[in-house]
Structure 1
Amino acid sequence: MKIVNRILVVLLTFLSVASAASTKNVNKNFVTESDSLSLMAEVSLFFEAYKNKQYDDWTIEQGFKVISMKPDAYPELHIYRKLEKVIWAAHDDSTTSEEMKKNLADSVLILYNKAIKYDTAYVGNYLVHKGYVLETWLKAPPDSSIAAYEKGFATGQKINSKSYYMDRLGQLYANNATDENSYKIKALEIYSKLSEDEPENPRWTERMASLAEDEDQLIDIMHKSWLMNKDNKEKAWRYASTCIKYRAWDKAIEPLEFLTEKEPNVINYWKELSRAYEKSDKVDKAISAYKKLINLEPNNRDNYVNLALLYKKIDQLAVARSYLHKALKISPDWDYPVYIEGTLYEQAARDCGFKFEDKVVYQLAVDTYRKAQHMGGNYSETAAERVNALKNSVPTKEDYFFRHYKNNDKIKIGGKCYGWINKTITVRY
């Protein structure tokens, strides 16, 4: 007799006993004190075989006998999970015949139908395993395997080897995609999620690339996926992430605006939206977004510098400098804001002219670059290059002499372009 038939006999026998006991109202659970002792004995036999790795017909039948006697017995022992392991081991044994493998597949499906009722904490795993069995052991129609996988992931429970099973579902979607179903979109959603979870794994990016003809089509597919459920924040983020990855900044704005509206305190959404605005030359909106970031994380120095760079871009140099100084209050030893301040003075002089008062501002820029250079940070070398580049733009000894300036005299910055600077330089020659 095939193992699956013997298992069915075991199940039917105990179901009959249960029905009879219920009818006679002997015991609602049809497990008397004597039965409890019998159950303990059967459990002991199963666990002894399991412990000894006796993964064969007898152990499988014994496991089914236990869960048939009392399906919810000893939940802390995880009998369903151990019985599943025995069946899988028997199936994968190189000596197991094809006929026996078919019987084992039928047996494990019987187990899953029972396990999802009594081992509820592990339902997600049972369902994705069921999908795998249908897909690979039984070569069942793809839709049946897909349905099992989908139900398993939909539980939201922790799935062991989750990436592996998600990949199998993704491949089922990809291999069975047509114009009439949304499998291609679903496959892309899976691989987009996997690429977020495992950014160092190139397989997921390769899977995504194989599903679309080019980057534009991939972005378009992810957009359509979001439009199918536009209130879904996860889909919005995947669409935004795809746009960001391929530098489609204009397209990234819409989902990021949606996300910041739905989750106004999520810092990462505001960071990406600020960057998307900036890359799309939407300076006013970028400024507003960075100010929101400063409210959310006032001690993040980068936000102040990014905001300063935006104000520099629109020639609001005084405002730009004020944000650089705020960054320096947070990180006094950071050379980057000092270097950027030097560029503000250089920009102001370059935009104004090349008279003596302009040369004085170039000197202020050089002095500021030297300060950044001597701080010994990442911009030390770049600052030194700017000092050298401006050597012919600063006042000469003759410039000072003809204006009666002596060594160590102070010169206050002045002129029509420089009212905002309010600094002095020291004459040195």
Structure 2
Amino acid sequence: MLIAGSSAVFAQQEPPNGMGELQAYAVFMDAYKGDDYDMAINFGAWMIEAKPEKIEGHDGFDLLRQFDRMVKVYKGAAENESDPTSKSEYMKKAVDVFDQAFETFSEDEMDQFEWKLKLGRFYHENNSALNVGTSQIAEKYEEAYEEDPERFANASDGYFAGFLLDRYASQGQRDKAFAMIDEIESYATPDLQNKITSARESLFDGPEERIEFYESQLADAGDSEKEQLLTDLVNLYEETSEGDKAADAAIQLYELNSTYANTRKVASIYLDDGEYEAAIEFLEESFEKAENDADKKEISLELAETHQQLEEFRQARQYARQAIDIDSNYGEAYMRVAAIYAASISECTGGQALEREDRTVYWLVVDYLNKAKEADPSLASNANNRAESYSSAMPTSEDKFFKGWEAGDNFRINGEVRECYAWIDEATTVK
């Protein structure tokens, strides 16, 4: 009995067939590289059991690497099996290799995060053969996440973090989901950030509930988290028509981080609320922070429109011209100049009947409508409709005869027409 027992122990600790360790390792590697899984299992199982720290004659031996190879060997053997039971047995042996690896190697000897994530992926990719569900896959990923949240969030562009977060959200595990979001959001990839946004959406019954939750998080939030919370709150307040709260949150966001986007948001809110003077201040700051001409020309046009609303026509034209200087084919800017000049007529007449001289300004208005559709043909219909509506306000044939104005003659809109048009000082032609 003693001899038999000793032989059993000896068989587990020594290579198969009486081979030396170096020879057995060489046979294993040949079988591994040649996808001879039966042979690889026979010789590889010895290394997993005996756990030799080194093999004489092979300086590059790495025991942990053999554990990794044996996982692949058992998986390969399973894939070659047609019998479901045998396939499942091989997969379970692969999982056993993971378990033994965690028991064998210390944290200094083994990257615990890498192996825990690898085990989660193994469960995920082979869930059918292992007969495991989503909850068991999530548990394995959760172990990797707890080991190193930042590496987990960045792994595979946030795929695994997104999977785990979706699992929490779908199961209504709000505390876990929000705790995870707090942990990983600051270093989430763009794809993962989209998944975070989607998870947030699914965790609330409506915008009011989201607002209540985000408001409760503000006091204890760090700057980066607070910025995201305020961004979300601004959008939610606008969605629920709480304009005052949206403005307050936008200002807080701007004071926290006065980026182009945050500055632009404040300007937009003031514009929507009709607070034009406040809007101008933030639009001008937005223009200075804009990094491309597309944004700059749009801001210039908004400044033109805003000054026009305040009946500051000279400044309005200045910004419309600024937009044209940035993009000479910006048809909307020409349309805006036409609107500014048309509005100036009403201001000059004070709502009284138009004199012959006032009517001449419409020649210039039509000039700019024509420029608009030349610059941007998509505006042709709009420009033509406006020009037609102004045609009845232009000087009549009688007016032109009385004043000696001949069609095609040069004509200047300036202080000689009427003092309040002096600032225009621009040439047109008699029409």
TM-score, with structure 1 as normaliser:
0.68
Residue type at the aligned position of 1:69: E
Indicate whether 1:314 and 2:287 are aligned: no
Name the CA shift for 1:406/1:89 in 2 (closer, same or farther; >3 Å): same
Q: Which whole-Å CA distance do the structure 2 matches of 1:40 and 1:378 have between them?
A: 80
SS of residue in 2 equivalent to 1:155: helix
Contact in 1 for aligned 2:165/2:177 (Cα 8 Å):
no
Name the CA shift for 1:171/1:141 in 2 (closer, same or farther; >3 Å): closer
Q: Deviations over 1:96-155 (max 9, x none)?
A: 5666655543532454674964565xx655444555678974856977864543544423
Q: How far is 1:322 from its partner?
A: 1.1
Which of 69, 73, 77 is the equivalent residue of 2:53? 69
Residue type at the aligned position of 1:423: E
- Report the counterpart of residue 386 of structure 1 in structure 2: 386
Indicate whether 1:45 and 2:23 are aligned: no
- Report the counterpart of residue 402 of structure 1 in structure 2: 402
Contact in 2 for aligned 1:256/1:272 (Cα 8 Å):
yes
Match runs of 1:202-351 below 5 Å: 208-225=200-217, 227=218, 229-234=220-225, 236-237=227-228, 240-241=231-232, 243-244=234-235, 247-248=238-239, 257-258=251-252, 260-264=254-258, 266-297=259-290, 300=293, 301-351=297-347
Name the CA shift for 1:390/1:87 in 2 (closer, same or farther; >3 Å): farther
Q: How far is 1:337 from its partner?
A: 1.2
Name the CA shift for 1:405/1:209 in 2 (closer, same or farther; >3 Å): same
Gaps of 5+ in 2: 1-8, 15-19
Residue type at the aligned position of 1:312: Q
Q: Which whole-Å CA distance do the structure 2 matches of 1:280 and 1:47 have between them?
A: 76
SS of residue in 2 equivalent to 1:410: strand
Matched positions, count? 388
Contact in 2 for aligned 1:309/1:320 (Cα 8 Å):
yes
Q: Deviations over 1:306-334 (max 9, x none)?
A: 32233233332221221222222222232
Q: How far is 1:412 from its partner?
A: 2.5
Name the CA shift for 1:221/1:147 in 2 (closer, same or farther; >3 Å): farther
Contact in 2 for aligned 1:335/1:375 (Cα 8 Å):
yes
**RMSD of Structure 2 on Structure 1 (CA):** 4.9
Contact in 2 for aligned 1:174/1:183 (Cα 8 Å):
no
The percentage of aligned residue pairs carrying the same residue is 18
Q: How far is 1:398 from its partner?
A: 1.8
Q: Deviations over 1:374-411 (max 9, x none)?
A: 22444333222221232222222222223333331414
Q: Deviations over 1:4-35 (max 9, x none)?
A: xxxxx99x989xxxxxxxxxxxxxxxxxxxxx
Name the CA shift for 1:233/1:282 in 2 (closer, same or farther; >3 Å): farther
Q: Deviations over 1:351-375 (max 9, x none)?
A: 5434124322333222111111122
Name the CA shift for 1:210/1:297 in 2 (closer, same or farther; >3 Å): closer
Name the CA shift for 1:372/1:99 in 2 (closer, same or farther; >3 Å): same
Q: Which whole-Å CA distance do the structure 1 matches of 2:102 and 2:205 have between them?
A: 40
The answer to which of 321-330 and 282-291 deviates more is 282-291
- Report the counterpart of residue 176 of structure 2 in structure 1: 183
Q: Which whole-Å CA distance do the structure 2 matches of 1:69 and 1:175 have between them?
A: 45
- Report the counterpart of residue 413 of structure 2 in structure 1: 412
Q: Which whole-Å CA distance do the structure 1 matches of 2:236 and 2:86 have between them?
A: 48
- Report the counterpart of residue 6 of structure 2 in structure 1: none
Contact in 1 for aligned 2:230/2:252 (Cα 8 Å):
no
Name the CA shift for 1:66/1:119 in 2 (closer, same or farther; >3 Å): farther
Q: Which whole-Å CA distance do the structure 2 matches of 1:424 and 1:350 have between them?
A: 20
Q: Which whole-Å CA distance do the structure 1 matches of 2:191 and 2:285 have between them?
A: 30
Contact in 1 for aligned 2:233/2:249 (Cα 8 Å):
no
TM-score, with structure 2 as normaliser:
0.68
